Amino acid sequence: MRRREFILALGGAAACPFAVHAQQPAMPVIGLLSIRSADTDARLLMPFRQGLSEGGFAEGRNVAIEYRYAQGQPGRLPALAADLIRRQVSLIVTTGGAQAALAAKAATTTIPIVFTVGADPVGAGIVKSLNRPGGNLTGVTTSYDEAAPKRLGLLREILPRAAVIGVLVNPNDPITANTETNDMRRAGRSIGQQIEILQAGTERDIEAAFARLIDMRADALVVAPDALFATQAHQLVALAARHAIPTLYWRRELVEAGGLMSYGSSLAEALRVVGVYAGRVLKGEKPGDLPVQQPTKFELVVNVKAAKGIGLTIPESFLARADEVIEADEVIE
């Protein structure tokens, strides 16, 4: 995969060497708050650590990290955030969506917070503005204004006769769910495409959503960005294959797990930038002075094996535009 760049002016003063007999300061501690699970985040956190290393920080050498996972249950986030506050961490990093960032924001106004979210952080009430977020927060958003029409357009390119397209959202994340619902309906109306919204907040709900897709004879499915859906990647991919429903995801990791295709920005790159920002904050920069970073590059990933498995032929002209074509699926560990 070609590396996707975010525009970021790297900086921060280098740490001054200590005198030989000077008392060494306590090792800073980063509290990492994720709505996902440890298993889901294991691979994703590698670029975060890379970003930290670019600022001269290495876990276990000169920075410690305390991990807190909500296991896909948003209701656990406030207690986990409070636990990190009691631990007196130097910095909180949140990942997995706006709910994690909002839980951290509600827990402290003094400890710096660096987030990655898939929603508009201004609209979600996380920061005041992108250029000067203010307060004790900054971070990265992977959202962009034209996501809905672009994803819908890609599906219609390979399925020009699609009558009904479903959109799967998680009602437990109302910020993202409402945004995706409104954006997809608006995009559908603009081109005369029937859009049906399906909701799933649990593993069982996902099964029921696919049963409803079959009942309504939907021709395709768009899966909205959500931590639950990332955690249940294999379930989603297996159901889409079993029912032969062409499905478009927001992240390449689901295509690597056997899904049909994805279009979106790189979460790995977003987390690398979060790591860079975390290093800068640890060196003394104020989060509120660091602009929230936005994606500037996007990738289309197509899994040809998945297409063949559901009897779908993807035009060569479409494949030629893809950033990556996967011939054989790679399972997410």
- If one compares 44 and 103, the residue with the highest pLDDT of the two is 103
On the question of pLDDT at 69 being above 60, the answer is yes
**268 contacts: CB under 8 Å, gap ≥ 6:** 44, 46, 47
pLDDT tens-digit readout, 127-154: 999 999 999 999 999 887 678 889 999 9
- The tens digit of pLDDT for each residue in 275-298 reads 999 999 999 999 999 999 998 888
**pTM summary value:** 0.81
Which among 134, 64, 70 is positioned nearest to 100, based on CA atoms? Answer: 70
In whole angstroms, what separates CA 55 from the centre of its chain?
A: 23
Q: Which residue has the tokens 């001054």?
A: 16
Q: Within 13 Å of residue 135, how many CA atoms lie on the same side as its CB? A: 18
What's the pLDDT score for residue 224? 93
The overall average pLDDT reported for the chain is 89
pLDDT-wise least confident of 18-27, 38-47, 157-166, 248-257: 18-27
Asked if residue 243 has pLDDT above 50, the reply is yes
